[in-house]
């Protein structure tokens, strides 16, 4: 059986075929084609909305958006992944409660940009997602950020790093208020600010960022990503429930964010609810692990980094309870077949895992995971490699 490798595709080729699709649909060429990447988070999970640290990298897999201006106050949105006629709505009617389903992520961004004072024109948009949807690799943020960049270009706004930070906030607002997924900002930040050859250390207390050179391949080590194909949706309630526990704990401890707690052992002892205490223990330990991981990466201490991955997964599985059987099987199987470390990445409840593995063991680990899924009677997992890639950009 051959493994299912999820290809990122060649950006110029994807952009050209999306431009052709746009032209076929609307009878004119698009004004431009924009791409924004998905991501994997190396470590620092469920920390962003607690003001903590995380360390994502942008994937070569991106969502592409072709756009063309129109002059009648109407917005249309079509997708290469969706059958049927495009969504059509009025530019001034794209806010909360007005658009449903996947289109709400794109329409919500156009609404949020207008709320932020950007003079978004009427637009036709066609998108093509090469980030597998529902994979926990941030297909939602990739869609939002590609549309945000496209809309800014159509509005004639100059996209510098200051504007990119504003776009992060607009995309978060769109996702929370229009799409109904109250996410924490990591995904949009890396999609807009990612760089090749580096992970992005993001401090979610003040939203400062720094680049952490990430090149395990120079030591013969790969980062393998495994899409379990198990359902992952952040609008289902589990994600919000974790946020609610963290907010309740912060209120009980008298701080705005869990990151602000100074005496962590005392805080853990004082929390009255056992479940909430485990949630908070995850947040504290995970933020500490990000700091350790940055040092391990700087020192090329790959085995130690692998142990940090393993500790992160155990904490997410046992204390935060956001893993699932498929993710645990990937992690356990990979560790038994020569991986240095493995962990779920992203929100959890399905989605993807990352595996730090010597290059010479990649085939063996992948085949073992594939076999384990077949033995369990689950759909075949998808595999991709993750060289850090650029953030959102114009490709045509
Ligand atoms: C999802 C959210 C992020 C973050 C992660 C967990 O990906 O979109 O904001 O909270 O889960 O680290």
Q: Residue 48 belongs to a domain with what CATH number?
A: 3.30.230.10
Distance 186 CA to ligand 1 centre (A): 6
394: in domain = no
Indicate whether 392 belongs to any domain.
Answer: no
Reported as a pLDDT band with limits 50, 70 and 90, residue 84 is: confident
Task: Answer yes or no: are the C-beta atoms of 182 and 172 closer than 8 Å.
Answer: no
Q: Which of 216-220, 237-241, 313-317, 333-337 has the lowest mean pLDDT?
A: 237-241
139, 140, 145, 183, best to mutate for ligand 1 pocket (most atoms within 8 Å of CB)? 183
Going from the Cα of 137 to the center of ligand 1, the distance in angstroms, rounded, reads 10
Which pLDDT score, from 0 to 100, does residue 235 have? 65
Are residues 220 and 345 located together in one domain of the fold? yes
Nearest CA to ligand 1 atom 11: 347
Q: Does the global pTM surpass 0.95?
A: yes
Question: Where is the domain boundary, 212, 244, 274?
Answer: 212
- Among the atoms of ligand 1, which is closest to the Cα of residue 45? 12
Q: What does the pLDDT look like over 339-358, one tens digit per residue?
A: 999 999 999 999 999 999 99
Whether 365 maps to a domain, the answer reads yes
- CA pair distance 297, 299, nearest whole angstrom: 5
Q: How far is the CA of 168 from the centre of ligand 1 (A)?
A: 14
- Please identify, by atom number, the ligand 1 atom nearest to the C-alpha of residue 136: 7
pLDDT in tens, 200-246: 999 999 999 999 999 999 999 999 999 999 987 766 789 999 999 99
Parent domain of 198: 4-212
- Give the residue, by CA position, lying nearest to ligand 1 atom 8: 183
Q: Is the pLDDT of residue 390 over 80?
A: yes
125 and 98: one domain?
yes
Extract the runs of DSSP E, i.e. beta strands, from the chain. Answer: 4-5, 32-41, 53-54, 56-69, 74-79, 87-90, 123-129, 198-203, 208-213, 221-227, 341-345, 352-358, 382-385, 393-394
Instruction: Give the end of a domain, one of 161, 182, 212.
Output: 212
364 and 226 both lie in a single domain: yes
Reduced to 3 states (helix: H, G, I; strand: E, B; else coil), residue 161 is helix
**Ligand 1 site, CB within 6 A:** 41, 45-46, 48-49, 183-187, 234, 346-347
What is the CA 94 to chain-centroid distance, rounded? 24
For the segment 22-47, the average pLDDT, to the nearest whole number, is 98
**Residue 198 contacts residue 210 (beta carbons within 8 Å):** no
Among 57, 134, 184, say which to mutate for ligand 1: greatest number of ligand atoms within 8 Å of CB: 184
Same-domain pairing of 240 and 169: no
Among candidate residues 184, 212, 240, the one where a domain is terminated: 212
**pLDDT for res 1:** 66
Identify whether 104 is part of a domain. Answer: yes
Percent of the chain with pLDDT over 70: 99
Which atom of ligand 1 lies at the shortest distance from residue 347's CA?
11
CATH number at residue 340: 3.30.70.890
188 and 254 together in one domain: no
Residues 207 and 252 grouped into a single domain = no
Residue 71 lies in a domain: yes
Catalytic residues: 187
Tell me, yes or no, whether 208 and 221 share the same domain.
Answer: no
Which pLDDT value is given to residue 292?
A: 98
The pLDDT value given to residue 233: 72
Pocket test for ligand 1, best of 135, 327, 346 (most atoms within 8 A of CB): 346
Same-domain check for residues 98 and 148:
yes
Among the atoms of ligand 1, which is closest to the Cα of residue 54?
Answer: 12
pLDDT at 19 > cutoff 70: yes
Q: How far is CA 86 from CA 81, 82, 102, 125, 172, in A?
A: 11, 9, 12, 9, 24
Q: From ligand 1's centre to the CA of 217, what distance in Å? A: 26
Q: How far is the CA of 213 from the centre of ligand 1 (A)?
A: 22
Is 393 a member of any domain?
no
Q: Both 129 and 94 in a single domain?
A: yes
Q: Tell me: the pLDDT tens digits for 276-308?
A: 999 999 999 999 999 999 999 999 999 999 999
- The pLDDT of residue 236: 74
Please name the residue whose Cα sits nearest to atom 1 of ligand 1. Answer: 347
The CA 346 to ligand 1 mean position distance, Å, reads 5
Give how many domains the chain has, as a whole number: 2
Query: Do 247 and 241 contact (CB within 8 A), yes or no?
Result: no
In a domain, 200, yes or no: yes
On whether both 202 and 270 belong to a single domain, the answer is no
In a domain, 346, yes or no: yes
- Rounded to the nearest integer, the mean pLDDT of the chain is 97
For the residues 43-59, what does the mean pLDDT come to? 98
CA distance 356 to 324: 20
Taking the CA of residue 140 as reference, the ligand 1 atom at the shortest distance is 8
Alpha-carbon distance 372 to 329, whole Å? 7
Q: Domain check: are 26 and 131 in the same one?
A: yes
On whether both 229 and 374 belong to a single domain, the answer is yes
Cα 2 to middle of ligand 1, angstroms: 32
């Amino acid at each position: 059986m051959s493994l299912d490798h999820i290809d990122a595709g060649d950006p110029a080729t994807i952009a050209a075929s999306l431009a052709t699709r746009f032209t076929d649909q609307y009878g004119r060429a698009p004004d431009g084609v924009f791409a924004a990447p998905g991501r994997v988070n190396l470590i620092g999970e469920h920390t962003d909305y607690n003001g903590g640290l995380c360390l994502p990298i942008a994937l070569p897999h991106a969502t592409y958006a072709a756009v063309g201006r129109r002059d009648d106050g109407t917005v249309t949105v079509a997708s290469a992944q969706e059958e049927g006629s495009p969504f059509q709505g009025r530019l001034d009617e794209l806010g909360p409660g007005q658009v449903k389903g996947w289109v709400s992520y794109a329409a919500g961004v156009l609404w949020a940009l207008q709320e932020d004072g950007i003079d978004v024109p009427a637009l036709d948009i066609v998108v093509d997602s090469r980030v597998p949807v529902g994979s926990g690799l941030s297909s939602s943020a990739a869609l939002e950020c590609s549309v945000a960049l496209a809309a800014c270009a159509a509005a004639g706004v100059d996209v510098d790093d200051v504007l990119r930070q504003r776009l992060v906030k607009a995309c978060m607002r769109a996702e929370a208020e229009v799409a109904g997924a109250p996410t924490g900002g990591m995904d949009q930040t890396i999609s807009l600010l990612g760089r090749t050859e580096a992970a992005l250390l993001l401090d979610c207390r003040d939203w400062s960022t720094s680049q952490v050179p990430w090149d395990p391949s120079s030591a013969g080590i790969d980062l393998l990503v495994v899409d379990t194909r198990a359902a992952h949706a952040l609008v289902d309630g589990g994600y919000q429930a974790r946020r609610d526990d963290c907010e309740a704990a912060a209120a009980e401890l008298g701080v705005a964010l869990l990151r602000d707690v100074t005496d962590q052992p005392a805080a853990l002892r004082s929390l009255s609810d056992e479940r909430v205490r485990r949630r908070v223990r995850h947040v504290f330990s995970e933020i500490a692990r990000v700091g350790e991981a940055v040092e391990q990466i700087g020192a090329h201490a790959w085995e130690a980094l692998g142990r940090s991955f393993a500790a992160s997964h155990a904490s997410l599985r046992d204390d935060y309870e956001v893993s699932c059987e498929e993710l645990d099987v990937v992690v356990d199987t990979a560790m038994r077949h020569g991986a240095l470390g493995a962990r779920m990445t992203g929100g959890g409840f399905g989605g993807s895992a990352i595996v730090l593995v010597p290059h010479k063991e990649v085939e063996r680990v992948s085949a073992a995971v594939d076999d384990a899924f077949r033995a369990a009677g689950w759909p075949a997992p998808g595999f991709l490699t993750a060289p850090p890639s650029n953030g959102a950009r114009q490709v045509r």
